[in-house]
Amino acid sequence: AQKVTQAQTEISVVEKEDVTLDCVYETRDTTYYLFWYKQPPSGELVFLIRRNSFDEQNEISGRYSWNFQKSTSSFNFTITASQVVDSAVYFCALRLNAGKSTFGDGTTLTVKP
């Protein structure tokens, strides 16, 4: 069975601080896909990134960066110089070729001015 653990339930930072959201996953499959989604108070789940299991290259997109490490089954997400608009719930998800996604319980990030 597959599982996604986001151990941090809530994180609070002050604007301009860097913050890392942790995601640890479990699967026996060798081919899988990892996702991060952002859910602001409005409710919509916004797709941020997809990473394939066979591509361990880290990625940076503006203030966002992702660190994928197969050795520790982790796919962590870092926001640099956080802003109030980054306040949201962030979900990490795992998807196998069989199609169904498994979501973590989410991390609520609050960025204070």
Give the residues lining the site for another protein (CB under 8 A).
31-33, 35, 37, 42-47, 50, 52, 91, 95-101, 103-106, 108
Q: How far is the CB of 27 from another protein (least distance, A)?
A: 11
Which is nearer to another protein, 79 or 94 (by Cβ)?
94
The residue among 85 and 113 lying less far from another protein, judged by its C-beta, is: 85
Instruction: Give the burial class of 13: count Cβ atoms within 10 A of its Cβ; 0-12 exposed, 13-18 middle, 19 or more buried.
Output: middle
At its nearest, how many Å lie between another protein and the CB of residue 113?
A: 24
From CA 83, how far away is CA 56, in angstroms rounded? 28
Taking the least distance from each CB to another protein, the nearer of 37 and 75 is 37
Among residues 10 and 17, whose Cβ is nearest to another protein?
Answer: 10
Q: Which two tokens mark 103?
A: 């979501």
Cα distances (Å, whole numbers) of residue 44 to 29, 65, 66, 96: 30, 21, 21, 23
